[in-house]
């Protein structure tokens, strides 16, 4: 049954209706634009939007053949991605009004599959911590997280069904947790990063947001070029590893309650479920991720650091100063430790199908001057493993809370199938 408000359709459901020509892309886009007009004056999810172009593209899709699995779906694009037809500012005044000549590869792939770009969504300054204007749609006085703040908020507020994001520390999973949507960070290296403002060659990962696992998998199948992501949803009972991580003492009562709720719901259905014992010889992965990110960002943003220092936020300037002081030999040693840790962690997936882990310390913090702590995401980003945030609970202030599933590198299709199985049991 089609809901009366088309903007509330999930991507999976809308895609099926569009493919059968039971829904027109123009009607779906118009409903999403109406929602943007109604809400974005408060939420501020969009950095730029062009309604006339979006509607023209939708009418063109309606008049032509089916383009692909994303045919007619409105898409939000984080303002870290280049777009040929919309400005790209990277969340910085340095690039105000900048017009790239080409789409980022991920954007081009989505358009090729039939998606239409509704607009550019707000990012923090160069995807670091200095926040943009976006507010959490569940409570406008709370942060939506970052750096993919606008993408997560727009999907959560039913302004559009899908949006692109990136993660270098916790910039997909954390805003997905705070805004109560599904966030999917693919295995590192599986999605092309050409045309995305580079921050860290070792860490940057392109992914996205949907309102269900199937929605995120649909988007991921196009980004990765692997149809298995949208076709494998028949996972059996799982071997689930409970990985609280060494950072668990910093999880607040809301995350701890969600953990207890999840483990109680999953225990009767899992083939096996037990605590993960991490190898004793692992380095401090959080500290290592911070050092790798600082070193590589200070070099990736060398032009901005050298020629526009006064237009950078104090916190970003401090990171770049710290990073440029790190010796290259020290960074090389850190990369070697990272590769060794990847091999040690990969062995866990001989015992477990998925790892259940915290996504965030708790609910979205109150206030708009910061975007929260990516603490529980840093290690998984460093290790390059695919992650899916699953929203299913509410915290003490009524804001969304959830957990993430982590899979083996390169087995994104299995992770998403397993995430669907888990999410169904957490949301019954």
Catalytic residue positions? 78, 147, 171
Phi, psi for residue 394 in degrees, rounded to 5: -125, 145
CB-based contact 156:179 (threshold 8 Å): yes
Residue of 186, 205, 239, 223 whose CA lies nearest to 68: 223
Pairing outcome for strands 354-358 and 239-242: parallel
SS3 413: helix
Phi, psi for residue 102 in degrees, rounded to 5: -145, 155
| Partner residues linked to 426 by β-bridges | none
At 403, which helix (H) or strand (E)?
strand 400-406
Measure the CA angle with vertex 124, ends 111 and 178; round to 5°.
85
Q: What share of the chain is helix, strand, coil (3-state, %, to 5)?
A: 45, 15, 40
DSSP 8-state secondary structure symbol assigned to residue 396: T
CB-based contact 74:29 (threshold 8 Å): yes
Residue of 421, 328, 325, 338 whose CA lies nearest to 378: 338
Distances, alpha carbon 354 to alpha carbons 224, 284, 409, in Å: 20, 22, 11
């Amino acid at each position: 049954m089609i809901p009366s408000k088309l903007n509330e359709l999930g991507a999976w459901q809308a895609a099926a209706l569009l493919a059968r020509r039971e829904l027109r892309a123009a009607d779906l886009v118009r409903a999403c634009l109406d929602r943007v007009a109604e809400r974005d004056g408060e939420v501020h999810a969009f950095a730029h939007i062009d309604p006339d172009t979006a509607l023209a593209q939708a009418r063109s899709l309606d008049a032509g053949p089916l383009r692909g699995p994303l045919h007619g779906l409105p898409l939000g694009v984080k303002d870290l991605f280049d777009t040929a037809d919309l400005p790209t500012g990277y969340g910085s005044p340095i690039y105000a009004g900048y017009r790239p000549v080409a789409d980022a590869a991920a954007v081009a792939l989505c358009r090729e599959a039939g998606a239409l770009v509704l607009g550019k969504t707000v990012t923090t300054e160069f995807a670091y911590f200095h926040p943009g204007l976006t507010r959490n749609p569940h409570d406008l006085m709370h942060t939506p997280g970052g750096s993919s703040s606008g993408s997560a908020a727009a999907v959560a507020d039913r302004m559009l069904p899908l949006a692109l994001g990136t993660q270098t520390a916790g910039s997909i999973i954390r805003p997905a947790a705070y805004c109560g949507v599904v966030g999917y960070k693919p295995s590192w290296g599986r999605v092309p990063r050409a045309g995305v403002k580079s921050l860290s060659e070792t860490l940057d990962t392109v992914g996205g947001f949907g309102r269900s696992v199937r929605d995120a998998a649909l988007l991921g199948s196009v980004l990765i070029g692997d149809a298995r992501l949208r076709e494998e949803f028949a996972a059996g009972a799982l071997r689930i590893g409970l990985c609280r991580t060494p950072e668990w003492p910093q999880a607040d009562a809301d995350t701890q309650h969600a953990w207890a709720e999840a483990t109680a719901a999953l225990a009767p259905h899992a083939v096996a479920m037990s605590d993960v014992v991490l190898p004793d010889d692992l380095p401090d992965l959080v500290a290592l991720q911070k050092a790798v990110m600082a070193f590589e960002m200070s070099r990736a943003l060398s032009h901005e650091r050298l020629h526009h220092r006064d237009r950078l936020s104090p916190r970003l300037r401090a990171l770049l100063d710290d990073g440029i002081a790190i010796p290259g030999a020290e960074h090389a040693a850190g990369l070697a430790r990272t590769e060794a840790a990847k091999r040690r962690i990969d062995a866990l997936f001989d015992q477990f199908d998925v790892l259940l882990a915290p996504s965030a310390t708790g609910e979205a913090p109150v206030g708009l001057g910061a975007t929260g702590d990516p603490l529980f995401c840093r290690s998984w980003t460093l290790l390059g493993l695919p992650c899916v945030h699953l929203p299913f609970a509410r915290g003490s202030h009524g804001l969304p809370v959830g957990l993430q599933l982590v899979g083996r590198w390169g087995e994104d299709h299995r992770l998403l199938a397993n995430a669907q199985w888990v999410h169904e049991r957490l949301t019954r």
